[in-house]
């Protein structure tokens, strides 16, 4: 167990350091997110009231779309440089690779969320600093990364790669999308967390199911 945790920590650290040194992916995701916020502004020139209602939806859409950029990259280093075999030999259990990639993707999503929310607040002059919103988005990021890591590990090995990832991933994410947007809009409108417990339960159930299945099947994805 201790050994596993150490393996995961090393793998996550490796990916984070690798990304931090180039910052290619973070820069791309950040630019994409901000540009999308600008597009939304001009696509829906709304009065302040309806804009406030749409905030949760817009933020989540931006995070989901920008997130696919990061997911697409999450296995490319290993795939392109033939490091998968070395990685598989280095870990005591193949599912640890999934765990590590999942945690890295989750951290990237959280980082992205932490960038998008203040920028949205700034651009649209709407205060969004609510712990309840943070909880909903964290649960969403968990589900998104759990499904996204598994799908990215498959698409990176196909011919269509980046093209295929959103097509495979988005249908699986529908429950997450609905739950996050509904719960987040309710929370932003001042509804108590207890009153959106249905959506939160759904998110937790989805996350647990998706993470469990991914761990079970991941070995089949990377083994020849």
Partner 1 sequence: MLSKNKLLDILTILTVVLFFGVFAMVLFYAPIEVNMGLVQKVFYFHMASAWIGMLAFLVAAVAGVLYLVRRNPRSDYLGASSVEIGLVFTAVANFSGMIWAKPIWNTWWTWDPRLTTMTIMAFTYIAYLLLRRAMDDPARRAQFGAIYAIVGFATVPLTFFSSRLMRTIHPTIFGSGETDMAMNAPMYQTMAAAVVMFTLLFAVILWHRVRLMAARQHLAGLQAARDEAFDGGGQHA
Instruction: Give the residues lining the site for partner 1 (CB under 8 A).
Output: 147, 150, 154-155, 157-160, 164, 167-168, 170-172, 174-175, 178-179, 182, 198-199, 202, 205-206, 209-210, 213-214, 217, 220-221, 224
Compute the least distance from the CB of residue 218 to partner 1, in Å: 9
Query: String of b and e for 51-63 (b: at least 16 CB within 10 Å)?
Result: bbebbbbbbbebb
Which CB atom, from 18 or from 158, has the smaller least distance to partner 1?
158
Phi, psi of 17 (to 5 degrees): -65, -45
Sign of CA dihedral 40, 44, 45, 47: negative
Compute the least distance from the CB of residue 206 to partner 1, in Å: 5
CB 40 within 8 A of CB 63: no
Compute the least distance from the CB of residue 128 to partner 1, in Å: 24
Compute the least distance from the CB of residue 53 to partner 1, in Å: 16
Closest C-alpha to 26, from 120, 129, 108: 108
Which CB atom, from 122 or from 208, has the smaller least distance to partner 1?
208
CB 115 within 8 A of CB 31: no
Q: CA 137 to CA 57: how far, in whole Å?
A: 11
Q: CA 191 to CA 57: how far, in whole Å?
A: 16
Compute the least distance from the CB of residue 164 to partner 1, in Å: 6
């Amino acid at each position: 167990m201790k050994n596993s945790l150490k393996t995961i920590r090393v793998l996550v650290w490796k990916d984070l350091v690798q990304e931090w040194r180039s910052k290619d992916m973070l820069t791309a995701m950040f630019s994409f997110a901000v540009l999308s916020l600008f597009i939304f502004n001009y696509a829906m020139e709304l009065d302040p009231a309806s804009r406030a209602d749409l905030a949760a939806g817009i933020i989540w859409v931006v995070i989901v779309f920008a997130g696919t950029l990061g997911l697409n990259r999450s296995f490319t280093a290993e795939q392109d440089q033939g490091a998968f075999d070395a990685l598989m030999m280095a870990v005591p259990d193949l599912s640890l690779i999934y765990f590590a990639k999942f945690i890295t993707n989750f951290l990237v999503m959280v980082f992205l969320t932490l960038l998008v929310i203040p920028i949205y607040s700034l651009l649209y002059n709407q205060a969004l600093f609510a712990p309840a919103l943070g909880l909903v988005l964290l649960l969403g990021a968990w589900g998104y990364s759990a499904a996204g890591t598994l799908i990215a590990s498959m698409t990176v090995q196909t011919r269509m790669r980046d093209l295929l990832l959103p097509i495979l991933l988005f249908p699986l994410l529908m429950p997450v999308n609905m739950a996050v947007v509904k719960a987040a809009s309710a929370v932003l409108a001042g509804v108590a967390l207890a009153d959106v417990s249905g959506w939160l339960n759904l998110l937790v159930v989805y996350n647990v199911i998706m993470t469990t299945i991914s761990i079970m099947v991941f070995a089949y994805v990377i083994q020849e």
